[in-house]
Each structure stands twice: as C-alpha cells, then as structure tokens.
C-alpha cells in the first residue's frame, strides 16, 4: 500500500515534470538528441555536385570534393576542393567550424599559390553564387541556436517534430528557421528559412537518405528554393566514404597548399 502510494507519487511527479517541459526545453532536448545521433562518424569524403538555376531556367554547375573530420567538443574541420567551374579548378577552402566563436577559414588560390586567411563574417553570403549561404552548409552544433518545439506532424507520411531554430551566432542572415525532423532517424527533412524581416526566404528539402556505418544518415539530395527571387540550387552528393584515414594534418594550411 505504502509502496503503491510512493510509486503513484513518483509517477505523477515524473508525468508533471514531462508535461511542464517548456517548448524551449523540448526543442533543446530534440536538438541534443539529433546531435548525439550523429556522434562518432569520424571522417569522411564525398563528392558534391551543385546545379544553380535562375528564374529563366538557365543552369550553372559546380563540382566540389569534400573532406571532413569530426572534432569532439568543437565544430568539424572540412576541406573543399573545387573542380568546376573550370576557372576555379584547384581552388581549395579550409574551414575549422566553431559553435559560437567565428569559424577559422583559409582560401587557397592556385594561380598565385597563395593561401589567404579570410573572415568568416560572410555567413549569410552566397556559397559560389548558389542559393546556399555559408551558414547553410556549416556543421550542426547545438550551441548555434535557441530552440522552440512547435508540434508533431506527419510530413510526407513520416512522423516529424517541428522545431524553430533561432541563430545564436553573429552575422546570420536569418531571424529563424523552421525544421521538420524525422525523430526515428534523427534527421532533418525540410527547413524553412526566414530572413531578418521574418519573411519566408528559402525552403530546403532533404531526400535520398542513405545510412553509413550502420548508423549515420546522409542526404544525397538537397534542394534549396528561394521563394523571393525564384532561383534554386540542387545539391547531389555521391561517393560517400567513411574511415578514410583522414587526420588533423590533412586539414592544415600546408595540406591546403597541395590540395588538387
């Protein structure tokens, strides 16, 4: 009898605390679970193909080789080597991303053999003339945003949690983002980007997810549509490889100079 009472008490306390979880707390908990689900991927390489389309339907193509290294307790390191357009072939970009403090970025210009440290304040600027800005392509870190859980809803037949992200870092082009998260696989399916005036700017859709190392999901297609200027960019990822033996020294200014 006494035990039952205690169980009841504890149970209701637990239920109460869950119910009392604010939308902000729930949003943060979701973000943490998403980050945790992607922990331990180590290092990877992949090819990124970008098709830029303007309102008239004219296309322009970008091809980039990506190398990435997971850094525990900080943002990831990445190296991007451009293959197309051909006039920038051999140009390489090294980035050490951080949650709140500005990312460290270097650009290698092959014609001059020059490495330039560049400011990362261009977060809201377009990446290679595309509809993706630098911040859209940066690695996800929980500390980058404040969160607010909105609702659960079915999205294309998949159960999702809808969460609002408010950028915490400086120089963001957004007031907020609304993210549709598949909570079974802990992956985003759709993101709506709202500009600083809180008008809908862009919509990003992730698809063709494949699982690697039996754990980590990677979208092979990312479609970004700009609702204000009618332009769009389609990213197609291919040749994902994990455990490629990449190490810290492969993400250095020196490695940048010999990137090809």
Partner 1 sequence: MKIFNFKQTICATVLFYVISFAAFAGHWDYRGNVGLEGRGFVYTPDYAAQNTSRVTGSASVNPEVSYEFNADNRFLFNVFARYDSVDDNRTHYDIRESNYLYIGEDFEITLGISKVFWGVTESRHLIDIINQTDFVDNLNGEEKLGQAMVRVTLLRKWGTLGLFVLPGFRERQFPHSGARLSGPVKIDTDNSTFQSGSKESHVDFALRWTKTLDAWDVGLALFRGTNREPYLTFNSTNNTLVPHYDQIDQVSLDAQYTGETILWKLESIYQWGSDDSFLAFVGGFEYTFYGVKESSVDVGMIVEYLYDDRNFQFSPATNANDDIAAGVRIALNDTQDTQFLAVAMMDNSDQTTFLNIEAERRLGNAWKIALQGSFFLNVASDDAFSFIKNDDHITANLSYYF
Residues near partner 1 (CB under 8 A) are 52, 54, 60-61, 84-90, 102, 104, 112-119, 121-122, 124-126, 128-129, 170-171, 173, 249, 252-254, 258, 260
Which of 38/74 has CB closer to partner 1? 74
Which of 133/223 has CB closer to partner 1? 133
The per-residue DSSP string of the chain comes to -HHHHHHHHHHHHHHHHHHT--HHHHHHHHHHHHHHHTTT--EEEEEEEEEEE-TT--EEEEEEEEEEE--TTS--EEEEEEEESGGGTT-EEEEE--SSSPPEEEEEETTTTEEEEE-STTTTSBGGGSS-BHHHHSPP-GGGEEEEEEEEEEETTEEEEEEEEEE-STT-SEEEEEEEEETTTTEEEEEEEEETTS-EEEEEEEEEEEEETTTEEEEEEEEEEETTT--EEEEEEEEEEE-----GGGGSHHHHHT--
Which of 20/112 has CB closer to partner 1? 112
Which of 23/85 has CB closer to partner 1? 85
**Cβ at position 252, least distance to partner 1 in Å:** 7
Beta-carbon contacts of residue 96 (< 8 Å; ≥ 6 apart): 71, 74, 75, 77, 103, 104, 105, 251
Which of 39/248 has CB closer to partner 1? 248
**Cβ at position 117, least distance to partner 1 in Å:** 5
**Cβ at position 124, least distance to partner 1 in Å:** 6
Which of 172/177 has CB closer to partner 1? 172
**Cβ at position 83, least distance to partner 1 in Å:** 9
Which of 124/236 has CB closer to partner 1? 124
Which bin fits 124, alpha (ψ -120 to 50), beta or left (φ > 0)?
alpha
**Cβ at position 76, least distance to partner 1 in Å:** 17
**Cβ at position 121, least distance to partner 1 in Å:** 5
**Cβ at position 204, least distance to partner 1 in Å:** 18
């Amino acid at each position: 009898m006494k035990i039952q009472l205690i169980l009841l008490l504890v149970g209701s306390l637990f239920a109460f605390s869950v119910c009392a979880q604010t939308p902000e707390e729930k949003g943060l908990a979701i973000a943490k679970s998403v980050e945790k689900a992607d922990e331990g991927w180590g290092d990877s390489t992949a090819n990124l193909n970008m098709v830029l389309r303007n309102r008239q339907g004219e296309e322009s193509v970008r091809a980039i080789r990506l190398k990435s290294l997971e850094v525990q307790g900080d943002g990831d390191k990445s190296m991007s080597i451009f293959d197309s357009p051909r006039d920038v072939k051999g140009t390489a970009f090294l980035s050490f991303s951080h949650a709140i403090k500005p990312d460290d970025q270097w650009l290698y210009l092959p014609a001059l053999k020059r490495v330039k440290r560049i400011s990362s304040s261009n977060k809201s600027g377009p990446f290679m003339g595309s509809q993706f800005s630098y911040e859209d392509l940066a690695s996800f870190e929980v500390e980058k945003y404040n969160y607010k859980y909105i609702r659960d809803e079915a999205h294309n037949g998949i159960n999702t949690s809808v969460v609002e992200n408010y950028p915490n870092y400086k120089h963001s082009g957004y007031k907020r983002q609304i993210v549709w998260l598949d909570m079974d696989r802990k992956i985003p399916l759709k993101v709506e980007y709202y500009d600083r005036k809180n008008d809908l700017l862009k919509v990003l859709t992730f698809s063709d997810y494949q699982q690697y190392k039996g754990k980590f999901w990677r979208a092979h297609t990312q479609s970004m549509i700009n609702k204000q200027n009618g332009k769009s960019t389609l990213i197609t990822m291919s040749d994902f490889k994990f455990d490629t033996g990449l190490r810290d020294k492969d993400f250095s200014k020196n490695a940048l100079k010999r990137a090809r």
